[in-house]
Structure formats: structure tokens, C-alpha cells
Amino acid sequence: MQTTTDIAQLEAQARRIRRHIIEMTGIAGSGHPGGSLSAADIVTALYFSVMKHRPQEPSWPDRDRFVLSKGHAAPVLYAALAESGYYPVEALGTLRQLGSILQGHPDMCKTPGVEICSGSLGQGLAAACGMALAGRMDRAPWRVYAMIGDGEAQEGEIWEASMFAAHYKLDNLTCVLDFNGLQIDGRLEDVMSIDCPSEKWRSFGWHVVKIDGHDFVQILAAFDEAKRTKNKPTMIVARTVKGKGVSFMENQVGFHGKAPSEEQMKQALEELATE
């Protein structure tokens, strides 16, 4: 697939993906727009600039792998896959419908381009570690990318996987922490703080890069730095805004798992069309 480092093109692509997220969840009347919107710029960078992949050949052996561990943010992944050409964009309107290939959480058995079923929080990073170790053992050229949520980082399996990745020096693994500060029950610091995540992952033996998760210059530079890092996995701690791009959704915990109404959908789409 042809990729780009043109920032304006990536920003325009991210707006299209955000519009899809709003339309998908609005039509379905359910879903998780907040964390999908916060992840949109990073996912856009991965699929349209960073990763090697072939939409017409989803099982291409030398493809880079992406694991969306925070599987409730499936709309952002579905939108990126459709925009990449894995299936028609029109399919996005079937989100969460019976018989649709686009269910509430990613399903590798139904959706082209999905590497693993995810949504049971904490498990995706462990799966990504297994993929990365397998790739290293096979001397494969591909890399593994994963995304976890900050609320998800409260799960113990995240830290077991983090120890594993550092112990086996999985430098073909890059994980992004979508650090938007909100989870379904409220503010991260009120529910269970993961205070100083950068220092935590450094202490676990990871290379850590801190970025603004909505700045494409920083995003691309971080992924490039990860590729150049040897003998350590890389954690990109990305500061993001829940609901990014839609004024009434930004930093509003209520939109973690609440779809926009018809009126809200109209307003959101108007905002995203003029950004």
C-alpha cells in the first residue's frame, strides 16, 4: 500500500476517520466514540504512513501486525481498514448489526485486516508479545504494533507482558499508550492512577518516548525512533484528548461508551468538515 509522510494528507485522512467514527456510532446508536476519536491520529499514522500492509492481501506473510488491545475502540480500526481498502467504506454503516462483519469488538474471523479478537482488556499486549517473539524466531522482516488504553494499564496482564517483552528484548514490538486520562468510570486519577507511566515502563526495561498523540510530526518521529531502537521494546506514551475533534465530546467521560444522538451527530460532522 502506498504511504505518505505529508502532514496535511494525514490530517485530512484523520478527519475522514473521525467522521466515520461519528457516523458509525450514531447510526448504530451504540459504541465507543470517545476513545476511538482520541486514537484516530495514531491509527491514521500507522495505516497510512508507518506500517507495511496489503489491503488486497490481508494475510500477506510479511505485513506488519497491529493489535488494538483496547478493542472497544473498534470504530477507529474499522474506519482505517475501510479507508485503506480492506472492504467497502459503505460497510461501516453496518456497525454492530446482526450479520455484519463489524461487531462491537474486533473479530479476526469476520473482519479482513483484524489480527486478533480483542476487547477483554489487558490481553492484547500479551498477544502482541507472542507475535513479536514468533517473528524474531522466524527472522521475519515485519514489526508488531499494539495500542493499549490508560484505564487498561490498570490490568495486571499488561505488566506481565511488559516484563516478558523486555526480558526477550523484543525490539520489533512498539506499543502506544493512549493516555487520555478518562475511563468508563471517570477520571483515571480517581479510579486508579497509573502515576508516571513513562517511568514505570522505563523501570521495566522499555525504551520510552513521550509525545502529543495528536501531532503528526511527533507521532511519525516516535515510530521512526522505535524502529531504530535495538534490544528493547518501545512504549510510546501518547497524551491524547478523549473525544478529540468534536467540541462537546472532548474530555467528556460520558462519551466513553455513548453514541451521539441524531442532532449531536449532525453537529459533530459539521465541526469535522470545517477543521
**pLDDT higher than threshold 60 for residue 275:** no
Provide the domain count of the chain: 1
The rounded percent of the chain whose pLDDT value lies above 90 is 96
CATH number, domain with residue 46? 3.40.50.970
Q: Residue 257: inside a domain, yes or no? A: yes
What does the H/E/C string look like for the chain? Answer: CCCCCCHHHHHHHHHHHHHHHHHHHHHHCCCCHHHHHHCHHHHHHHHHHHCCCCCCCCCCCCCCEEEECCHHHHHHHHHHHHHHCCCCHHHHHHCCCCCCCCCCCCCCCCCCCCCCCCCCCCHHHHHHHHHHHHHHHCCCCCCEEEEEECCHHHCHHHHHHHHHHHHCCCCCEEEEEEECCEECCEEHHHHCCCCCHHHHHHHCCCEEEEEECCCHHHHHHHHHHHHHCCCCCEEEEEECCCCCCCCCCCCCHHHHCCCCCHHHHHHHHHHHHHC
Mean pLDDT within 135-156 = 97
User: What pLDDT does residue 9 have?
Assistant: 97
Q: Residue 110: inside a domain, yes or no? A: yes
Mean pLDDT within 221-231 = 98
User: What pLDDT does residue 201 have?
Assistant: 98
Q: Residue 109: inside a domain, yes or no? A: yes
Beta-carbon neighbour count of residue 156 at 10 Å? 8
pLDDT band at 241 (very low <50, low <70, confident <90, very high): very high
Q: Residue 129: inside a domain, yes or no? A: yes
pLDDT band at 3 (very low <50, low <70, confident <90, very high): confident
User: What pLDDT does residue 121 have?
Assistant: 94
Q: What range defines the domain where residue 46 resides?
A: 7-274
**pLDDT higher than threshold 70 for residue 274:** no
Please tell me the distance from the alpha carbon of residue 149 to that of residue 74, in angstroms, as a whole number. 13
Mean pLDDT within 56-73 = 98
Q: Residue 1: inside a domain, yes or no? A: no
From 12-21, 52-61, 146-155, 181-190, the region with the lowest mean pLDDT: 181-190
User: What pLDDT does residue 4 have?
Assistant: 85
User: What pLDDT does residue 66 have?
Assistant: 98
Q: Residue 242: inside a domain, yes or no? A: yes
**pLDDT higher than threshold 90 for residue 191:** yes
Q: Residue 205: inside a domain, yes or no? A: yes
User: What pLDDT does residue 227 have?
Assistant: 98
Q: Residue 113: inside a domain, yes or no? A: yes
